[in-house]
Chains A and B, each alone.
Chain A
Amino acid sequence: MRFLKVLFVLVLCGGLLFGGFLVYAHHAPIETAAPPAADTFDAATIARGAELAAMGNCNSCHTVEGGPALAGGRALETPFGTIHGSNITPDADTGIGRWSKAAFSRAMREGVDRDGNHLYPAFPYDHFTKLSDEDVDALYAYVMTRTPVRAPTPENDLVFPLGFRPLLAGWKLLFFRPGRFAPDNVARDETNHGAYLVEALAHCGACHTPRNTLGAEERSAHFAGGTSDGWIAPALDHKNPAPVPWTQESLARYLRSGFDRHHGAASGPMIEVARNLSRVPEQDVAAMARYVASVMGEPAPERAEKGRALVATLESGRTPVQTTGSSAPGGSAVPDPIYAGACGGCHDAERGAIDALPLSLATAARLESPQNLLHAVLEGVHPRNPKAAALMPSFDGALTDEQIARLADYVRTEIAGEPAWRDVAGTLAKIRKGAASGSGESTK
């Protein structure tokens, strides 16, 4: 009897708590609106919306490679399962055609869709909440004037119980801080403009900041480096591993053109970012570069000096193997024949003949894991269109996995002069497994 009473009270309390949580998690739907007529928006607002959408990399998740723009369907692999970018064209049934500006704004700022469902934080509303009203309006004008595409968004495939969206209210309570961008009053206007674009819109931190076990960006490790689609997104703070320290100028060049001669070509998920930034005003990218450079900070004098020395040696025409071979542990004067035959023809070529990056300058060789270097060797580097001629050809098939692993080890220890990576073969096998199971856009 007593046991039943206790049980009854417990169930009641549990039910009340759960009910309370559901009430807390509940958001009312916003009335549907007739799709706005094209002349609702003025051309200048739409044009700025297009630039903002490019800087915000909307297409990275909402457009399938080669598919109709913003029609959704792109699969994003997360530690919690697969999420699909939704259709954000103004199609009335499968897109956001019936979303009023208020509904769009709530999604951007609070991560709640028109029906009142919580959105997964793969959609970076933790960044977009910082956007100005003016910019949200311009983005709305842009998306609502795109060609509507009828394309139902595929179902997500998430680990239990994450398919139950009200749980996201709990996630938000823990990690989501809504609110507009707050400028730094000490910083210059251009730095603040850059900070706004980077933090509120471009959401660089979504990849370049590590995430905790529940998938939230770690505030205390802002820009300390993260991952994206099986690639390492290098640290953008003082720990950035580029052998030649980045400057505002080199960052701006890289972001806008996808290439800088002391840092190489954008690869992996960064290719699309650079492609998007090639379409936006130069001053916006310059401001972003200024802000990122300010987060990286001035390099330590020793690091700056090393970078200058590397560049000076390269410009004087000596090959990078000779440059670092002597200082590298176990450095040898004779280059590995596979390196010399497969890589050296471009990477050790006289600069200007072919602008391949000398690998002594490559960030990929300095990261804590070989995955970026292995991705480049396996897939090549395709700057714009994966079907077009590559900047770097794929060596998959030409070299065996064992040879690729040895090559990565050679580049790491002999050319970069860094301690050997652990388990290169294992990382390679993991990349292959990911490619075989269809995760990752990068397999071709």
Chain B
Amino acid sequence: MITLTVNGRSHEVDADPATPLLYVLRDDLGLHAAKYGCGFGQCGACTVMVDGRAVFSCVTPIAALPGRQIKTVEGLGTIEDPGPMQRGFIEAQAAQCGYCIPGMMMRAQALLEQNPAASEQDIRDHLALNLCRCGTHMRILDAVKRAAALMRSARGPDAGTTVATDGAAR
């Protein structure tokens, strides 16, 4: 048994420790946001967050994850109350087929948690590892910028100033 903490909840998982996290999320925990794309860490559809960093869940064995914080799109909000990243994607209508979007959201979330004042170039550089075959990149960019703005306004005007200073210092 391996204990995994996903979106703040603890789960006992009975699986081979070499099993990629993606399979456990989808097959054992019923969390279907992260997608199987290539299985080689090349496309980013499986991206989730571990300890605040974006990782490819298809090449991350659960043996590496006890005691670490795993976050998936299910942890960003609900259908009734979507989080800022999800709202950004809804407002920008950033999905065509939608297969890559959960991976895009999680990599963008990791970026904005680390750098709330990320520039467009930062977002482009950071998301370059995730592929979208429909070509919705411009909308994805728009969505992430909206999400960043929503997160800033949620923190209030004072927090916003601090963020801007942080951003300038980077």
Binding site for B on A (CB under 8 A): 335, 337-338, 340-342, 344-346, 354, 387-390, 392-393, 395-400, 403
Contact = CB atoms under 8 A, between A and B. Distances in A.
A240 B121 CA distance: 42
Contact of A345 (B17, B59, B63, B131): B59
Contacts of B129: 387, 389-390, 393
Given A340-B18, A342-B64, A389-B43, 8 more contacts: A340-B61, A341-B17, A341-B61, A345-B20, A387-B128, A390-B41, A390-B42, A397-B54
B16 interface: yes
A393 B43 contact: no
B115 interface: no
Contacts of B53: 396-398
A341 B58 CA distance: 9
B40 A346 contact: yes
A342 B51 contact: no
Interface in B4-44: 16-20, 39-43
Given A341-B18, A389-B129, A403-B64, A397 B50 contact: yes
A338 B61 CA distance: 6
Interface residues of B, number: 27
A389 B131 contact: yes
Main secondary structure of the interface of B (DSSP, over half): loop
A54 B83 CA distance: 50
A393 B63 contact: no
B20 A341 contact: yes
A345 B55 CA distance: 16
B99 interface: no
Contacts of A396: 53
> Considering residues A338, A344, A388, which has the most beta carbons from chain B within 10 angstroms of its beta carbon?
A338
Contacts of B17: 337, 341
B54 A337 contact: no
A354 B58 CA distance: 15
A340 B20 CA distance: 10
A340 B18 CA distance: 6
Contact of A337 (B18, B55, B125): B18
B56 interface: yes
B59 A337 contact: no
Given A337-B18, A341-B17, A398 B60 contact: yes
Contacts of B56: 393, 398
Nearest to B130: A389
Contacts of B64: 338, 341-342, 398-400, 403
B94 interface: no
Top 6 A-B pairs, shortest CB-CB distance: A341-B61, A397-B53, A393-B41, A337-B17, A340-B18, A337-B63
